[in-house]
Structure formats: C-alpha cells, structure tokens
Amino acid sequence: METTKEREQNQAGLSSAEREGVRQSQTTNENIRQLLEMLDNPDAYTEQQIQDIINRDEDTRETYRLMVEAKRSSRHRQNQKPVDVDAAWQSFNQKLQPKQQGFGWMKIAASFIGVLLVSGIAFAAMHLVRLYQKQETPQTEITENVTTPVTTLPADTLTKDTVTVQPIIYDNIQLEKMLPEIAAHYDVKVIFTNDEARQLRFRFVWNPQQGIDQVISDLNQFERLTVIRKDNQITVE
C-alpha cells in the first residue's frame, strides 16, 4: 500500500531510483539523529544499546568517527597555550627522586649481599682447598697427627663440657687481636714470626670446648696462615 510520503514523491515525478535515494537519506538522518540524542544523554542507554546505535550501519559508524575527530580538532585548536616545562620538570623530578633514592638503597643492599656472598664463597673455597691438600698428604703425616696424645686434651675439654659454653664468633677481626684471646684460654703464648699474618682478617668460629690442637687445626685451614704449637707456645708463620 502506498504511504502518504510515497504518494507525494510519485506526484512530484521522482523515479524509483530517486525515491530509493530519498528513502536512504531519511534513514541515515534518522540514525544520526538517534546517535546525537544518545550522545546528549548516554546514561539513559545500556552499553549494548550504545554499541547498537553507533554500529547500526557504516554511515552512522563513520559519523561517530568524524565526531571523535571533530572533538579532537576542537581540543587541538583550543589547546595552543604554551606549556610551563620548568614547572613540569620540577613536578616530574619530585616523582623521580624517591624512586632514585629507593634504587640507591637497593644498590647498597645488593652490594652488601654481594660482599657477603663473595666472602662466603672464598671461605668455602679455602676449606675445600685445604681439605683437598690434606687428603693428598702422605699417610705417615696423618698418623703423626693422629698420634697427638689424646690425653693432653681432656684437661680442657672435660672441664668445659660440664658447662655449656657457646661458640664465639670472630667476624672480620684481625688475627693479632683474636689469637691472643684464644691462646689465653688455653694458657699458651702467641708469637708472630710473619708480620703480614697479624693483619689477616677472617671469620672464625671458636668453640672453647674444643682442645687447643683442634683450634690450631681449624686455623690452618686458612690459606696464607700456618700455626704451629710447641709446648706452651703458638707460632704464627
């Protein structure tokens, strides 16, 4: 059935192609009007309805894209005031400083951990080298060590065993300070024949419950250090 509008168009002498053009134009205008109405009050629409209106057809989608550009163009035109770069740099620098300080502390912490790790590795390496050397020493020498009279030890060890004495840790302490303290416990003297050895520093755990010979044996695990006991005297070579 012919609508009033179509009748008017027929009477105006429009061809069917022209009438189709008019009809399409009316639909496009209606879609764009719906788009403009939605943009005036988006909260009245659901997300889906908004998507449907914008993507109704290619014309509406293109119209929305042009409106996005029109808005950007407006900002572009209005946004010509000069920027205060000095103030911006100050503001950015304030944001940056705590980060850099934090990073600095992290670096210090990392270096400290690094030093500890290296010390630990070095200490382990010294132990391994000495142990390896010890294994390679001739059997006769071992027997010499083993023959150290056990009876000389109990005087110290047995008396200390009855009281629980905690090990003492010398951490990065000079040998010339550490060794006399230990020696005093066993009532022996210390003589340094090598002055360089006086300044040696390392981490040493001394268990006062151990006998003096065990302590000397532990000290000898360190490279660059040779400790010899003769009677009541310890010599560091």
CB of residue 84 to another protein, shortest distance in Å: 10
Which residues form the interface with another protein (CB under 8 A)?
A: 29, 32-33, 36-43, 47, 50-51, 54, 62-79, 82-83, 85, 88-89, 91-92, 95-96, 99-100, 103
Q: Crossing angle of helices 16-40/47-54, nearest 10°? A: 150
DSSP 226: -
Least separation in angstroms between CB 212 and another protein: 54
CB of 44 to another protein, least distance (A): 10
Report the residue number, 14 or 50, with the smaller CB distance to another protein. Answer: 50
- Is the CB of 104 or the CB of 154 nearer to another protein? 104
What is the DSSP code (8-state) at residue 82?
P
Between residues 37 and 161, which has the closer beta carbon with respect to another protein? 37
The alpha helices in 137-174, defined as continuous H runs, are 139-146, 154-161
Give the H/E segment covering residue 191: strand 189-192
CA torsion through residues 122, 124, 126, 132, sign: negative
Separation between Cα atoms, residue 154 and residue 161, nearest integer Å: 10
Min CB(109)–another protein separation in Å: 16
> Do residues 165 and 205 touch, judged by C-beta distance below 8 A?
no
Let me know: does 45 contact 53? Beta carbons within 8 Å: yes
Rounded-to-integer distance, Cα 84 and Cα 6, Å: 62
CB of 35 to another protein, least distance (A): 9
